[in-house]
């Protein structure tokens, strides 16, 4: 069941065709991330992932309510008009946003982004931030293949800075295996010879629904923390593979949290005998669930706790995020599941490539700025060398991913690109110079004739 939302819609940016091909809506993504209010803002990417029919979209729709009450957005810039305290809306307000439903027919599968983007300026350091919200759909239903599941998990992890892993009742060992991709990826990053010791991914939040042991671990983040501690503890009697999955999850994410939610009550789960058609409003939730749900969302999306998406410790802006995402999505279009290693490799290449491009820009800017200062052909190579040195220094001193062979390979590429631009520029400058010299000569001769 879903009601129209006034400010945004769910965009299925990555979906699967009947024969399991990956389809990408590149235009929709470009429209979002090349938006003038987004392309140069730092991206906070908030996503939820986990088995189907477990209240993921339902949860996200309440997150949207919180976000709309606290931040202006592209489509609703004059927000927030509502009072922040009452972000949850009216008791009987139907729930809209990402499509959630009680039936057994599934919605679209893949990765779904909220078309509207929230804008925030950090009160801590003034960072300009764009918050995107992402839903995933179709995991572990009977129509999505294991390959499809792994793809969504891997892409979800790659694209988020805050990834909520939605689980039922307890954390099950087999659900952890889907985080294996993240841990594999992190292993390659750990071997990065540039010594980028930072962890590959930012924040992972285990969200446990229908928690039945509040006496042992109370609801909310508090009980979640003790439960997680107990769960992630590496113990000698555990099988080696269970130990290593714990170890690597902890080495892949900068922060791991957990929150426990109670059962939402029969109206929400559709088990009510009264057979009323539930519209998602909080009036239908059990008192416990409602309070815990709201508290969890308030903690999770607290303005100063928003975490910016990073690659190689660098905050990503909208236009960079778009480039990385399109590249990841394309890698996943191949029929085999890409290996963490090959995704890591292409991340390295993309990162250094973007650095090379900005060094080339730097070179271009300096030489063109200096063109007017040149009065003599012999100055051209001097200006070139000065500007090139400056660009190469920028490259050498910037943080890079990968190993020494990447470093050398891209240093050569940068040098060649600069030389090519120099050639064009100096040809033009020389011609200009000649013209000026000829003109001066002509004027001189004309003067002499007089
Ligand atoms: P998704 O497939 O994971 O996105 O699940 P939906 O958000 O579409 O919700 C599926 C069903 O679960 C709906 O009928 C919701 O009312 C119900 N639901 C929402 N939250 C919870 C919860 O915490 N526990 C349970 N058992 N059901 C929930
Ligand atoms: Mg859903």
Q: Got the DSSP string for 2-16?
A: -B--SS--EEEEEEE
434 Cβ neighbours under 8 A, 6+ residues apart: none
Q: What separation in Å is there between the alpha carbon of 96 and the centre of ligand 2? A: 12
Q: How confident is the model at residue 1 (pLDDT cuts 50, 70, 90)?
A: very low
pLDDT band (50, 70, 90) for residue 27: very high
Q: Which of the listed ranges 104-113, 167-176, 207-216, 248-257 does the model predict with the highest average pLDDT?
A: 207-216
Distance CA 160, CA 177 (A): 18
Quick check: 387 pLDDT over 90? yes
CA dist., res. 72 & res. 56, Å (int)? 24
Ligand 1 binding pocket mutation candidate from 50, 55, 101 (most atoms within 8 A of CB)? 55
Tell me, what's the pLDDT at 314? 87
Long-range contacts of 333-341 (CB under 8 A, 24+ apart): 333/21, 333/22, 333/24, 337/147, 337/150, 337/151, 337/154, 338/154, 339/184, 340/154, 340/181, 340/184, 340/185, 340/187, 340/188, 341/184, 341/188
Q: Where are the beta strands (DSSP E) in 200-344?
A: 201-209, 253-260, 310-311, 314-315
Question: Cα–Cα distance between 248 and 254 in angstroms, integer?
Answer: 12
Take atom 21 of ligand 1 and give the residue whose Cα is closest: 55
pLDDT band at 270 (very low <50, low <70, confident <90, very high): confident
Ligand nearest to the CA of 141: 1
| DSSP string computed for 197-241 | -S-SEEEEEEEEES---TTTS-SHHHHHHHHHHHHH---TTS-HH
Count CA atoms within 13 Å of residue 275 on its CB side: 0
Nearest CA to ligand 1 atom 18: 55
pTM of the predicted model, to two decimals? Answer: 0.86
Q: Ligand 1, residues 1, 47, 56, 58: which to mutate, most atoms within 8 A of Cβ?
A: 58
pLDDT confidence bin for 194, thresholds 50/70/90: low
Of 165, 89, 74, 132, the closest CA to residue 318 belongs to 132
Asked whether the beta carbons of 117 and 132 are under 8 A apart, the reply is: yes
Reply yes or no: is the peptide bond before residue 80 cis, omega within 30 of 0: yes
Q: How far is the CA of 52 from the centre of ligand 1 (A)?
A: 9
Q: Tell me the mean pLDDT in the region 17-27.
A: 85
ipTM above 0.85, yes or no: yes
**Cα separation of 97 and 6, whole Å?**
9
Q: Given pLDDT bands bounded at 50, 70 and 90, which one contains residue 12?
A: very high
Contacts of 68 (CB under 8 A, 6+ apart): 7, 76, 79, 80, 82, 87, 118
**268 in contact with ligand 1, CB cutoff 6 A:** yes
- At 356 the pLDDT is 96
- Computed over every residue of the chain, the mean pLDDT equals 87
pLDDT of residue 295: 98
Q: Which two tokens stand for residue 278?
A: 């539930």
Q: Which residue has the higher pLDDT, 175 or 15?
A: 15
Residue of the nearest CA to atom 12 in ligand 1?
55
Rounded Cα–Cα distance for residues 153 and 185 (Å):
13
Over residues 105-153, the pLDDT tens digits come to 556 678 999 999 999 999 888 999 999 999 998 766 666 666 677 788 8
């Amino acid at each position: 069941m879903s009601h129209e939302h006034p400010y945004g819609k769910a965009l299925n940016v990555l979906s699967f065709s009947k024969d399991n091909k990956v389809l990408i809506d590149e235009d929709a993504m470009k429209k979002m991330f090349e938006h003038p209010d987004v392309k140069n803002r730092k991206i906070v990417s908030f996503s939820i992932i986990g088995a189907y029919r477990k209240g993921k979209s339902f949860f996200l729709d309440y997150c949207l309510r919180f976000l709309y009450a606290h931040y202006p957005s592209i489509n609703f810039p004059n927000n927030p008009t509502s009072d922040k305290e009452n972000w949850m809306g009216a008791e009987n307000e139907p729930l809209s946003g990402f499509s959630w439903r009680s039936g057994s027919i599934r919605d679209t599968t893949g990765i779904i982004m909220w078309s509207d983007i929230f804008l925030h300026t950090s009160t801590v350091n003034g960072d300009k931030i764009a918050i995107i919200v992402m839903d995933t759909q179709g995991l572990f239903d009977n129509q999505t293949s294991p390959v499809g599941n792994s793809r969504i998990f891997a892409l979800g992890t790659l694209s988020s800075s805050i990834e909520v892993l939605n689980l039922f009742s307890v954390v099950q060992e087999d659900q952890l295996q889907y985080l294996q991709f993240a841990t594999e990826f992190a292993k390659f990053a750990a071997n990065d010879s540039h010594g980028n010791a930072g962890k590959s991914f930012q924040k992972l939040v285990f969200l446990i629904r229908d928690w039945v042991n509040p006496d042992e671990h109370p609801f909310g983040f508090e009980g979640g923390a003790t439960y997680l501690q107990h769960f992630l503890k590496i113990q000698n009697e555990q099988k080696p593979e269970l130990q290593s999955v714990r170890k690597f999850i902890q080495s892949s994410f900068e922060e791991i949290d957990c929150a426990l939610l109670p059962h939402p009550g029969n109206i929400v789960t559709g088990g009510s005998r009264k057979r009323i058609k539930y519209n998602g409003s909080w009036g239908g939730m059990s008192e416990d669930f409602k309070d815990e749900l709201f508290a969890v969302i308030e903690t999770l999306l607290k303005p100063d706790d928003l975490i910016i998406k990073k690659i190689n410790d660098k905050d990503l802006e909208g236009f960079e995020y778009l480039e990385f995402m399109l590249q990841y999505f394309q890698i996943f279009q191949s029929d085999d599941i890409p290996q963490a290693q090959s995704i890591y490799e292409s991340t390295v290449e993309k990162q250094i490539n973007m650095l090379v491009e900005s060094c080339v820009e730097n070179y271009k800017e300096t030489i063109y700025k200096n063109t007017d200062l040149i009065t003599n052909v012999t100055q051209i190579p001097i200006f070139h060398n000065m500007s090139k040195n400056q660009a190469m220094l920028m490259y050498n001193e910037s943080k890079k991913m990968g190993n020494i062979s990447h470093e050398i390979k891209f240093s050569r590429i940068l040098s060649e690109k600069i030389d090519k631009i120099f050639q064009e520029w100096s040809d033009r400058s020389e011609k200009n110079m000649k013209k000026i010299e000829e003109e001066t000569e002509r004027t001189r001769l004309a003067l002499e004739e007089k």
